[in-house]
Chain A
Amino acid sequence: MIHVSNLSKYFDEFCAVDQVSFSVNPGEVLGFLGPNGAGKSTTMKMLTGFLAPSSGNISIMGHDVLHDPVAVQRQIGYLPEGAPSYADMTVLASLKFIGKARGFFGHELDVRVEEIVNKVSLESVLNKRVETISKGYRRRLGLAQALIHDPKVLILDEPTDGLDPNQKHQVRELIRNLSADKIVIVSTHILEEVSAVCSRAMILAEGKIVFDGTPGELAAQSDFHNAVTIRLTKKNDTLIALLRELPSVRQVMIGEGDLMTVFPKGGEMILSDINQVLHREGCQVEELHVEVGRLDDVFRKITMTANPSERVA
């Protein structure tokens, strides 16, 4: 259990994190979203005890981060932004170093290292120096360093940044397959990642929490939530007029080609209403689907309201 209350961080005059409070329970995978400089990394650094907060409290698994950082750090696995590791060491030596620093020695250390190497597929680069391996491997080494002691709390700062699509998929699988009693906090720029791995999404902007809910609830804030997109074989103006008259329809937007999108009033399900009209008119439909909601729209909408100065630009 993580409990954060009234957490703030100032860098000189600049307020990076502003009175943030939230709790995370075991089993939750929390996605931190937000534009660059929103305070995601700073918050994570304070959770791990790396940075001291300017004010506020953090308690992780019953330990206070300020008063007993070492007890907290024992419970946490942390992947810092950019996945730093010692360039002049081999992958194997790096993992053994982290393992020993976490208190594993002898046979147990070997077992831990072998397990984690298999888990993140590092076998082929074990004896290479970190400076010579690719970005993808480096990121995986960072994950291995964070996971080697099977932590109860996992904090990952942009774990998939700079990976190719296959590697991204692999890392997401890894996060999904972590045992269900862990707390995972992931920061990301990639919105699809939130619906792919997170059970809860939190959007930060200018150091404040501007959204906190499930990825579904986030999508529901989109104008496109439950909108229906239709592609007909040929354009049909009567149909458009009929659709516009439907009581549940707010707006019909004509897109490129023969594409049109029908927006519902207040997020209602309108597929059946539309279907009736299409049947009555005997239209040939090529494509028909219900939109879940466009996350990047919502993201822009939420973070821009928090930061109106950027909206002008």
Chain B
Amino acid sequence: MSPVYVVLNRELSSYFATPVAYIFIIIFLTLSGVFTFYLGHFFERGQADLSSFFNFIPWLYLVLVPSVAMRLWSEERRSGTIELLMTLPVTTMQLVLAKFLAAWLFIGLALLLTFPLWLTVNYLGDPDNGVILAGYLGAWLMAGGFLAIGSCLSALTKNQIIAFILTLVVCFVLVMSGFPIVQDVFSDWAPQWVVDGLSSLSFLTHFDAISRGVIDLRDIVYFVVLITAWLYATVLAINLKKAD
């Protein structure tokens, strides 16, 4: 068994050793229900799809994913276990990957547990299940993006609250950067390529495309590159800050 698997396993079981995992899943499911049925007007729309669920996913993530990511490294640094972990015969890259994958699988599990929504829509109508599957894939990829950012920012501080707020702000900017309100701030003075670049950096632009059922390689690559870059930054952040 590879060390990545061993560390991943420990991480995952530590989620469930405390009430954290259960509370997170319950809140995630409750909120996704509230968003889909009340704010998303699931019934009133009379459409056999889950777009009222997927439209709210980025906003749901904004609060909930940083709360999973904040403890990834801050907690290790605060309690000193980082020294125990990093003197095992395991590379920093493997540790970063293991912790990230554990959190990603955990969010994946929470996403899977929204299956009653899928059952409901299939019971009530005849949806395009391919589009729904694409929506779930997009939602999971986006969770990976949020988590990779959170992983890096959590490596920069011993304080989980700071890690939470930083992650929330950065993710908020990345979600919003596709919106006109953010574009306006830059369009006055920045060249057009900056404005375009900013919009193409947005989570929303890429997630919306995937969740409409259009699986474009560029959108997948966006998330893969985003995750890889932030995880690499995590390795750098750990090596920089672990001694403090």
* A binding-site residues for B, Cβ under 8 Å: 11, 45, 48-52, 69-71, 73-74, 76, 78, 80-82, 84-89, 93, 97-98, 100-103, 105, 145
The answer to whether A88 and B80 have CB atoms under 8 Å apart is no
Distance in angstroms between the alpha carbons of A105 and B242 in the assembled complex = 29
The answer to whether B83 and A97 have CB atoms under 8 Å apart is no
The answer to whether B84 and A105 have CB atoms under 8 Å apart is no
| Min distance, Cβ B23 to any Cβ of chain A, angstroms | 14
Please name all residues of chain B whose beta carbon is closer than 8 Å to the beta carbon of A45 when the two chains form the complex. 83, 243
Please name all residues of chain A whose beta carbon is closer than 8 Å to the beta carbon of B239 when the two chains form the complex. 52
Distance in angstroms between the alpha carbons of A283 and B81 in the assembled complex = 63
Please name all residues of chain B whose beta carbon is closer than 8 Å to the beta carbon of A81 when the two chains form the complex. 80
Number of B interface residues in the complex (CB < 8 A): 23
The residue in chain B whose Cβ has the minimal distance to the Cβ of A157 is: B83
Please name all residues of chain B whose beta carbon is closer than 8 Å to the beta carbon of A82 when the two chains form the complex. 80
Distance in angstroms between the alpha carbons of A92 and B146 in the assembled complex = 34
The residue in chain B whose Cβ has the minimal distance to the Cβ of A77 is: B87
Please name all residues of chain A whose beta carbon is closer than 8 Å to the beta carbon of B86 when the two chains form the complex. 50
29 inter-chain pairs at a CB distance below 8 angstroms, sorted by A residue, are A45-B83, A45-B243, A48-B87, A49-B87, A50-B86, A50-B87, A50-B242, A51-B243, A74-B89, A76-B87, A78-B87, A80-B80, A80-B83, A80-B84, A84-B80, A84-B83, A85-B81, A86-B10, A86-B14, A86-B79, A87-B79, A88-B14, A93-B13, A98-B84, A101-B3, A101-B6, A101-B88, A105-B1, A145-B84
The answer to whether B88 and A98 have CB atoms under 8 Å apart is yes
| Min distance, Cβ B122 to any Cβ of chain A, angstroms | 39
* B binding-site residues for A, Cβ under 8 Å: 1, 3, 6-7, 10, 13-14, 17-18, 79-81, 83-84, 86-91, 239, 242-243
Known: A70-B91, A78-B84, A102-B88. 6 other contacts (CB 8 A): A50-B86, A74-B89, A88-B14, A89-B14, A97-B10, A103-B89
The residue in chain B whose Cβ has the minimal distance to the Cβ of A129 is: B17
Distance in angstroms between the alpha carbons of A49 and B10 in the assembled complex = 23
Please name all residues of chain B whose beta carbon is closer than 8 Å to the beta carbon of A48 when the two chains form the complex. 87
Please name all residues of chain A whose beta carbon is closer than 8 Å to the beta carbon of B1 when the two chains form the complex. 100, 105
* Minimum-distance CB pairs A-B, first 6: A84-B80, A80-B83, A73-B89, A100-B6, A74-B89, A48-B87
The residue in chain A whose Cβ has the minimal distance to the Cβ of B17 is: A88
The answer to whether A97 and B6 have CB atoms under 8 Å apart is yes
Distance in angstroms between the alpha carbons of A105 and B1 in the assembled complex = 8
Distance in angstroms between the alpha carbons of A98 and B84 in the assembled complex = 9
Please name all residues of chain A whose beta carbon is closer than 8 Å to the beta carbon of B87 when the two chains form the complex. 48-50, 73, 76, 78, 80
The residue in chain B whose Cβ has the minimal distance to the Cβ of A99 is: B6
How many pairs of residues, A versus B, come closer than 8 Å at their CB atoms? 69
The residue in chain A whose Cβ has the minimal distance to the Cβ of B92 is: A69
Distance in angstroms between the alpha carbons of A80 and B80 in the assembled complex = 8
The answer to whether A84 and B91 have CB atoms under 8 Å apart is no
The residue in chain B whose Cβ has the minimal distance to the Cβ of A98 is: B88
| Min distance, Cβ A261 to any Cβ of chain B, angstroms | 45
| Min distance, Cβ A70 to any Cβ of chain B, angstroms | 5
The residue in chain A whose Cβ has the minimal distance to the Cβ of B86 is: A50
Distance in angstroms between the alpha carbons of A214 and B10 in the assembled complex = 43
Please name all residues of chain B whose beta carbon is closer than 8 Å to the beta carbon of A103 when the two chains form the complex. 89
Please name all residues of chain B whose beta carbon is closer than 8 Å to the beta carbon of A76 when the two chains form the complex. 87
Please name all residues of chain A whose beta carbon is closer than 8 Å to the beta carbon of B3 when the two chains form the complex. 101
Distance in angstroms between the alpha carbons of A50 and B92 in the assembled complex = 10
Distance in angstroms between the alpha carbons of A51 and B240 in the assembled complex = 10
Partner of B81, one of A51, A70, A86, A100: A86
Distance in angstroms between the alpha carbons of A98 and B85 in the assembled complex = 9
Quick one: given A50-B242, A70-B89, A100-B1, are A85 and B6 in contact (CB under 8 Å)?
Answer: no
| A87, A101, A102, A103 interface centre (most CB from chain B within 10 Å) | A101
Distance in angstroms between the alpha carbons of A80 and B76 in the assembled complex = 13
The residue in chain B whose Cβ has the minimal distance to the Cβ of A155 is: B87
The answer to whether B81 and A84 have CB atoms under 8 Å apart is yes
The answer to whether A102 and B243 have CB atoms under 8 Å apart is no
Distance in angstroms between the alpha carbons of A29 and B89 in the assembled complex = 23
Please name all residues of chain A whose beta carbon is closer than 8 Å to the beta carbon of B243 when the two chains form the complex. 11, 45, 50-51
Distance in angstroms between the alpha carbons of A100 and B79 in the assembled complex = 22
The answer to whether A101 and B90 have CB atoms under 8 Å apart is yes
Distance in angstroms between the alpha carbons of A73 and B81 in the assembled complex = 16
Distance in angstroms between the alpha carbons of A52 and B86 in the assembled complex = 12
The residue in chain A whose Cβ has the minimal distance to the Cβ of B79 is: A84
| Min distance, Cβ A310 to any Cβ of chain B, angstroms | 25
Partner of A85, one of B13, B14, B84: B84
The answer to whether B79 and A101 have CB atoms under 8 Å apart is no
| Min distance, Cβ B30 to any Cβ of chain A, angstroms | 25
Please name all residues of chain B whose beta carbon is closer than 8 Å to the beta carbon of A98 when the two chains form the complex. 84, 88
Distance in angstroms between the alpha carbons of A51 and B83 in the assembled complex = 10
| B3, B10, B84 interface centre (most CB from chain A within 10 Å) | B84
Distance in angstroms between the alpha carbons of A241 and B6 in the assembled complex = 75
| Min distance, Cβ A82 to any Cβ of chain B, angstroms | 6
The answer to whether A89 and B17 have CB atoms under 8 Å apart is yes
| Min distance, Cβ B171 to any Cβ of chain A, angstroms | 27
| Min distance, Cβ A225 to any Cβ of chain B, angstroms | 39
| Min distance, Cβ A148 to any Cβ of chain B, angstroms | 11
